[in-house]
Structure 1
Amino acid sequence: MFTLAPWLAVAADEVVFRDEAGRVLKKSELAEAHGNFTWELASTDPVSEEARKEHVRGRAAGQRGDATCSHSAKLPLVRETGRSRRMPIRKPSRMPPSTEALQRLSDFASGKTPVPEFEQQLYNDPDIETLLSEERAPRFCQTGITLFHYLIGLDLSDPGDVLSAKDVLVSLLQKHGVKAPLPASATAEYALLLDAQPHWLDADVKFLASLLDGAPCLPPKQRKAWLRQRILELFKYAKQPPRWLQSPAWPIGDAGPLVFLGQFPVADYFHDEAAVYVFHDPVKGAFTTFVQIC
């Protein structure tokens, strides 16, 4: 019989208990738990968008055969702690995963199933929900403790989140003996959205993906050049592009990117270097300003 220690009860929502088979135990099951079990504290530090983009760039470089990747990013430290205790645990019977559910996941990971169709399956297919609910979420997940929680927390209109979803599903399928390698085209397409941007821009990839949807049928290099030219046409500035003190934050309005008018240093007011950035929406005639401090 197991009782939560007071210091664990304080952060009960962050403590995950698993039996020998890796199944997540519910709090109601702990009182009757017997056998071997482990517990872990989920991290509260999310993986940054910069780190995720760097991971995609590195993967794309590896698929192209590049020995090095010119980009760099600082990955956040993930604090974790855990230990094992030997306790008698009753092993529940575990049904084998549905063959149909595995096939549907494989079709999505391999690119056969469109994203909107998979999203409907994710929310409405009980076999898929059961299968994903028996798998632990990635350690950086903030939305729950199972793979199902992680996937429904993603924005599947974001190409980066779609790539993340396919990545974890490929690992799951391999665990169940299903070969479903992540298509190189999926990684290459996302890397193209990142690499086509000039150094002074880090635009919303959903907006860039919508631009790319209108591209003519071209080879990869020409496709990237087409997107870069389209970006330069839309992200306009009066004299020169912004010199960001923090991450690029070019605002995009209903009619597209706003026009950058200029930036002005703020001296002797903040403790650190600061600048005001001014953008104009020519459709609405409105201005948008914000401050960055470094």
Structure 2
Amino acid sequence: MTNQSPIGLIDSGIGGFTVLRELQQRLPGENLIYLGDSLRMPYGELDNAAIIEYANSDIRFLEERGVKAILLACNTISSLMEQLTANVPLFSIVEAGCLATMETCKTGEVGLIATRATVNNGAYPRVLRQLTDQVVFVQQGTKTLASVINNYPEEIELLRTHIHLAIDPLIEERDIHVLLLGCTHFPIVRETIEELYPQFTIINPAIKEIDILREKLTAQDAFSGMDDGGKTEIYTTGTQADYEIFCDMVDYLDIRCHSLNQAVLDIDKA
């Protein structure tokens, strides 16, 4: 492993593209490998044992490609990070989200929308309680929003319907003004959320997660040494054509997209 070794990112679909985009913009000299396990998404509807098994297989895939660190670009995976096995540093978007929440809101209630698995695991309240007792999350788990974003990203009215289903229960009896996007799919529809709920200050945990990564690389003198020109490779268990469409979200053109054989991630055992 060298300074030029890539940084890995894991998500169960395209949501992690929102983290990838921020990472490319903020650390343009780093080589990146993104793994999107679309075949088994959404992880947020799986039981914990399956999430841990699949996440560990994702981690092994990236470690075999020599990554120097792995960003968990999936809140559901991050909510179980303590139970994962890795030989390189893992970075949790849940921890980043809690730190970003503290920086945004000093007291009171903060809305949180996430997958049902993330909410049921209680990771966000648990981590936040370790940092402050002045802020609390009001959580709403959504079964459908991540899948709709992943599969129908251009169906605006359908997206609006599922955004309302996710957020309206949070504000029925509460005066909430800060909303944390607890799934990396959700920043894809951030503009629509802001249009429907202009009262919200919205937190995207990916930005803080990358700040934490930058601090770690600085402390270890582990940057690539390049100001730009980093290469990005994308691997998917879904269809390559679909991912090439989603690559339009990412600002850099030097991207190679690969479709994985199922056996690579032991998907045939799922």
TM-score under structure 1 normalisation? 0.22
Q: Which has the higher contact order (CA 8 A, sep 6+)?
A: 2
- Give the structure with the higher percent helix: 2
- Give the structure with the higher percent strand: 2
